Amino acid sequence: MLEALKKQVLAANLELPRLGLVDFTWGNVSGRDAASGAIVIKPSGVPYERMTEMDMVVLDANGAVLEGKLKPSSDAPTHLELYRAFPELGGIVHTHSSWATVWAQACRGIPALGTTHADYFFGEIPCTQGLTAQQIAGQYEAQTGVAIIDCLRERGITPTQMPAVLVANHGPFAWGADADAAVHNAAVLEVVARMALLTLQMDSGLPAMPQQLLEKHFFRKHGPGAYYGQG
């Protein structure tokens, strides 16, 4: 079942090491089938260079394995929480990419300092609140998803406006309309995380970019009035 989606999710996972977004097995991509609600995700702990289409694990919306002989990624409950909360998502990626993870470990959001950032993220890329001891001891991965959901909702922003969030002391999660878009957003996140850190090293007191410029760059690529590109 879902052969095309499994091929896409495998290809998206293999992009992570090619783009320099993962070391070892530290990352995962999933894709969601809109018709059935089934999720295809990377298996847990399998090296990228050995992964095949047959290794992809198919889950239902509740996390039950529908197809696959290997265990799904340990982060699958986080993905499932996000898909349940935001049905518009078609792909999710988690990495420990170095520059974004630096911000996550500092428990700091990435400020919008320039137009490269604004082309993709409508404002500061937020960092979640840290998990409580009770959340860590319980359903840790699911609670990570809840923390991301709460982070977006508390700020009144949608996952379309903000296609990535940093998890405090952990690392980034990104998403998109499908698995390919999610990986693209994760790659852009890593670029703007590096740019922001280097910019603030030059001047730690820089304010965020002007709101009018932020809105201009974001909405020229997103929304009903978008005019960037050939679409």
Output the DSSP codes for 107-143: T--B---SHHHHTT-SS-B-BPPPPPHHHHHSSHHHH
Choice among 119, 120, 140, 227 that is catalytic: 119
- Look at residues 56, 44, 51 and name the one whose alpha carbon lies nearest to residue 5: 56
Inter-axis angle of helices 76-85 and 140-155, nearest 10: 30
Helix or strand holding residue 173 (H, E): strand 171-176
Is 228 noted as a catalytic residue in this protein?
A: yes
Listed residue (205, 202, 222, 228) closest to 123, CA to CA: 222
Helix (H, G, I), strand (E, B) or coil at 28: strand
Q: How many CA atoms lie within 13 A of 92 on its CB side?
A: 30
Closest-CA residue to 47 (of 3, 5, 17): 17
Is residue 119 annotated as part of the catalytic site, yes or no? yes
List active site positions.
119, 228
